[in-house]
Amino acid sequence: MRAVKDKLEQDLGIYNKLILVDSAFDRAEEALSVLKDCMDVHVYSCIKPLVCAENIEMIDSEIEKCLLKLYYLYEFSNRFVVINENKQFGNVWSYVNADLITFEDAVRCYL
């Protein structure tokens, strides 16, 4: 976990924003296809995107677990965010499901 924390700190020093696309998110591949064109962010994912992109870093499930634990443990001031569908609280995906905004707009809310 220490190595993951150190890498996260290093990446926060390099990139404006870090985004973890949770592998449990049903529309992860679709989110990755939207994020592949956002070169000012660095994206972590366990799920291989349909199209390779420089800003998407493939990680394994153990690193994903560590990143999720760090995300919930620390305050990152919106520089490190997780795209997932937390069913306990209302979220942007409720607006997508109600056809109030598009999926692409919802992903861009995280930027």
From CA 89, how far away is CA 97, in angstroms rounded? 15
From CA 23, how far away is CA 41, in angstroms rounded? 18
Task: Decide which of 37 and 45 is more confident.
Answer: 45
- Whether the CB-CB separation of 42 and 14 falls below 8 Å is answered with yes
Q: What residue type is assigned to position 52 of the chain? A: C
pTM, whole model, 2 decimals?
0.85
Q: Which of 29, 75, 91 minimizes the C-alpha distance to 43?
A: 29
Give the pLDDT mean for 58-62.
Answer: 95
Q: What is the pLDDT of residue 19?
A: 96
